[in-house]
């Protein structure tokens, strides 16, 4: 354990990957809290899967594998997918969850077709694009961490700046409208930040697993508190902890990819929270009910006596 702790600080590769995973966990945990509270968990799944064709098209159009170029393509595809979901749900009789399913499958399928086409090109430059499917955290270098941290800071700053508006949007949109707030624009800004959070994590955990990093920390945090501010801080902490724990586990277990290890780590946090969190935890509730039954029986025994 001591060696692992020291390696986390003095091993350059492990430290770089852990910092990137922690940055991803903080941003996705904080912003994912609003997706969970607004019951839009599947939106993150749809956006992350929809990002794949954006990555492939960005490569085909530019021939560049620069992280900034590919992530810009992913962001554009994610934004387009979000807009299409809104339009389909708003202008047709197709329900919101059905629209999410349609966009997720169509965009992801199109992305796989493009990725297969790229792999067959007589050009060795395309190698490595498949890492965006399941992520390749071990390939993260310092400039990638700086890019993730920079985008993450922008997202967190905007979250702090529009805190009151996002709170109104999450809990009472109609009341916000009566106060004169442009709730449609605020909804657009929050959704854009979700797209940004997903784009940040594509290189680490990939399009398939990114939705877990967006939702799982927030679900775990929700079990422990009813206060929005505390929930956002807890979700950011859980996300960062899972990122570091998954990275360390990946470095110690042979052939264990970091992305799935991070998702497993955050899933364990969700299970612990669902079981043991005060008030909401299953075991906590069972224990409280048991103590209350015992107390009533004791009171009944005294009266009968």
DSSP string, 62-118: H----HHHHHHHHHHHHHHHHHHHHHHHHHSS--HHHHHHHHHHHHHHHHHHHHHHH
Q: Residue written as tokens 């965006």?
A: 132
Residue 3: the pLDDT is 67
Residue 101: the pLDDT is 86
Residue 231: the pLDDT is 94
Is-contact 256 45, C-beta < 8 A? no
Residue 55: the pLDDT is 86
Burial group, residue 42, by CB count within 10 angstroms (0-12, 13-18, 19+): middle
Residue 217: the pLDDT is 93
The count of residues in the chain is 305
Residue 248: the pLDDT is 87
Rounded to whole angstroms, the Cα distance separating 239 from 269 reads 9
Rounded to whole angstroms, the Cα distance separating 182 from 14 reads 45
Residue 162: the pLDDT is 92
pLDDT tens-digit map of 19-71? 888 988 999 999 999 989 988 778 877 888 888 888 888 888 888 777 788 88
Instruction: Name every residue whose Cβ is closer than 8 Å to that of residue 17 and which is 6 or more positions away in sequence.
Output: 137, 138, 140, 247, 258
Residue 274: the pLDDT is 93
CA atoms within 13 A on the CB side of 22: 13
Residue 304: the pLDDT is 57
Name the nearest CA neighbour of 169 among 154, 42, 159, 84: 159
Residues of the chain with pLDDT under 50: none
pLDDT tens-digit map of 289-304? 888 888 888 877 565 5
Residue 127: the pLDDT is 62
Reported as type and span, the H/E element at residue 280 is none
Rounded to whole angstroms, the Cα distance separating 185 from 190 reads 9
List, in order of start, the domains of the chain with CATH numbers.
1-211 (1.10.3470.10)
Name the nearest CA neighbour of 170 among 68, 33, 271, 265: 33
């Amino acid at each position: 354990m001591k060696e692992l702790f020291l390696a986390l600080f003095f091993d350059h590769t492990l430290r770089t990957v852990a910092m990137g995973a922690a940055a991803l966990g903080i941003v996705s945990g904080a912003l994912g809290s609003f997706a969970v509270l607004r019951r839009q968990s599947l939106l993150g799944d749809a956006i992350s899967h929809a990002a794949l064709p954006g990555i492939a098209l960005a490569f085909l159009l530019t021939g560049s594998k620069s992280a900034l170029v590919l992530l810009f393509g992913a962001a554009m595809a994610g934004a387009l997918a979000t807009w299409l979901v809104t339009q389909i749900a708003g202008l047709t009789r197709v329900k919101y969850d059905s629209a999410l399913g349609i966009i997720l499958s169509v965009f992801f399928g199109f992305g796989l077709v493009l990725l297969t086409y790229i792999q067959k090109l007589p050009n060795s430059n395309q190698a490595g694009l498949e890492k965006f499917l399941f992520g390749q955290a071990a390939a993260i270098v310092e400039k990638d961490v700086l890019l993730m941290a920079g985008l993450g800071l922008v997202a967190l700053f905007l979250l702090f700046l529009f805190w009151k508006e996002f709170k109104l949007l999450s809990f009472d949109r109609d009341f916000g409208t009566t106060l004169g707030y442009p709730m449609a624009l605020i909804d657009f800004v929050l959704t854009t930040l979700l797209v940004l959070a997903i784009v940040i994590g594509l290189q680490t955990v990939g399009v398939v697993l990114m939705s877990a990093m967006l939702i799982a920390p927030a679900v775990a945090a929700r079990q422990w508190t009813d206060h929005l501010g505390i929930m956002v801080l807890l979700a950011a902490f859980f996300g960062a902890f899972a990122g570091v724990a998954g990275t360390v586990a990946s470095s110690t277990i042979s052939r264990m990819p970091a992305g799935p290890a991070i998702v497993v780590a955050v899933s364990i946090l969700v299970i612990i929270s669902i079981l043991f969190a005060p008030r909401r935890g299953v075991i906590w509730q069972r224990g409280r009910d048991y103590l209350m039954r015992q107390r009533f029986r004791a009171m009944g025994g005294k009266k009968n006596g």
